[in-house]
Amino acid sequence: MSSNTSATAPLFQSFTSEKIKLSNRTVMAPMTRGFSPDGVPGEDVAGYYRRRAENEVGLIVTEGTGIDHPASVSGASIPLFHGEESLNGWSNVVKEVHEAGGKIVPQLWHVGMTRKKGDLPNEEANPVGPSGLSLDGDKITEPMTEAEVEKMVEAYAQAAADAKRLDFDGIEIHGAHGYLIDQFFWEKTNQRTDRYGGDIVGRTQFAVEVIKACRREVGPDFPIIFRFSQWKMNDYKAKLAETPDELERFLTPLVEAGVDIFHCSTRRFWEPEFEGSDLNLAGWTKKLSGKPVISVGSVGLDGEFTSFSGANTTSLDGLMEKLDDGEFDLVAIGRSLLMDPEWVRKVREGRETELLPFDKAALKQLY
């Protein structure tokens, strides 16, 4: 049994849900790094994840990794989740993390309309999305046909099957931040009139089919985490749900499709989501869905991540209160863990004075 200081004890309780058991409540947030030449994660990437496992991170969510579609990512060094070489690279990552006693899930990603025409790794592949609209609402390409949407669903399913085959501990589906799945959720980018469009429930249909197809491949016992956000890359004030009632209408089809854990992405975990309650997005999601939830956003730091500038360390007291109250079950940590592989261990050992401020120069390294 590992010792921990009482101030941070809530973070070091074990977590047991129907399908996964974790030694503590810490999760490494998914963070795109761009250190995988030709889409292949190498030894340096495996070492990067292994160091987090060695230093007690409860669950690692990998950086977003591209499903099997020519326009799934923008950039030649974003890791892919298809093709023998990339999957072998991931297999090695899993082996290293497991050897160090950690748990790891891949974040399955398609960027949709955020991709620019001509982006690597497939310069000729056009961006695709529900209505061919950029996040600013400009028409860029034709809407995906139903056949294209159905094929895309199968690309997610194949990735889920591969994740299980490679011995990952589950999957996380990236449905947040204005990427493909979120473009289906968001009214501004989804103007379809077929079964994938319409009201907030209709706009969940693509995600529902993705989740069900993944579940079909991985069976009933393999954890499926689903990440979503209100905010979009180009619009921090955007909202899918203005009220708890709308949030419930959004979540219900996803729960019924087979999500096990929701990862509720916010930029500042302490902010209430709706008026009249202190609950944050994760807190509301837990209450409305009955599922375990991961919260995230500026844990231990005083500046939200989208500024991508530096940020200083802050007290963890507010986080501990919310965790202790059961508002959420797990806590994802992004930049602090990007900066410092030992962050979790230091917190458990009460070495708060040794925690490092976030320096954006860290983005250029794999510490």
- List alpha helices for the chain, DSSP H: 43-54, 84-99, 146-165, 180-185, 205-218, 244-257, 281-289, 317-324, 335-339, 343-348
CB of 253 to ligand FMN, least distance (A): 21
Instruction: List residues near ligand FMN by CB under 6 A.
Output: 29-32, 63-64, 107, 174, 176-177, 227, 265, 296-299, 301, 305, 333-336, 363
- Cβ proximity to ligand FMN, 8 vs 197, nearer residue: 8
Rounded least distance, CB 299 to ligand FMN, Å: 5
Active-site entry in 179, 196, 236, 367: 179
Residue 319, token pair as written in the block? 């986080």
Angle of CA points 68, 262, 294, to nearest 5°: 115
Q: Are 72 and 111 in contact (CB under 8 A)?
A: yes
Are 244 and 284 contacting, i.e. CB atoms less than 8 angstroms apart? yes
Q: By Cβ distance, which residue is nearest to ligand FMN?
A: 334
Least distance to ligand FMN, CB of residue 139, Å: 26
Residues 229 and 177 sit within 8 Å (Cβ to Cβ): yes
Residue 179 annotated to the active site:
yes
Indicate left, alpha or beta for 151 from its phi (over 0: left) and psi (-120 to 50: alpha): alpha
Of the two residues 69 and 174, which places its CB atom closer to ligand FMN in the complex? 174
Taking the C-alpha atoms of residue 324 and residue 329, their distance in angstroms, rounded to an integer, is 9
The nearer residue to ligand FMN, 262 or 305, going by C-beta atoms, is 305
Q: Residue 359 CB, nearest distance to ligand FMN (Å)? A: 12
Min. distance of Cβ 343 from ligand FMN in angstroms?
Answer: 10
Contact (CB, 8 A) for 41 and 86: yes
218: Cβ contacts below 8 Å, ≥ 6 apart: 160, 161, 163, 164, 171, 224
CA distance 256 to 287: 16
Nearer Cβ to ligand FMN (197/206): 206
**Contacts by 346-354, CB closer than 8 A, 24 or more apart:** 347/8, 347/11, 347/300, 347/316, 348/2, 348/3, 348/4, 348/5, 348/8, 348/11, 348/12, 348/24, 348/56, 349/3, 349/4, 349/5, 350/4, 350/5, 350/7, 350/8, 352/313, 352/316
Minimum Å gap between C-beta 31 and ligand FMN is 4
User: 59 vs 192, which CB is nearer to ligand FMN?
Assistant: 59
Closer residue to ligand FMN in complex, CB, 55/336: 336
Specify whether the CB–CB gap between 325 and 290 falls below 8 A: no
Q: What is the DSSP letter of 262?
A: E
Q: How far is the CB of 220 from ligand FMN (least distance, A)?
A: 26
CB-count exposure of residue 329 (10 Å: 0-12, 13-18, 19+) = buried
**Which of residues 177 and 291 has its CB atom nearest to ligand FMN in the complex?**
177
Catalytically active residues are 179
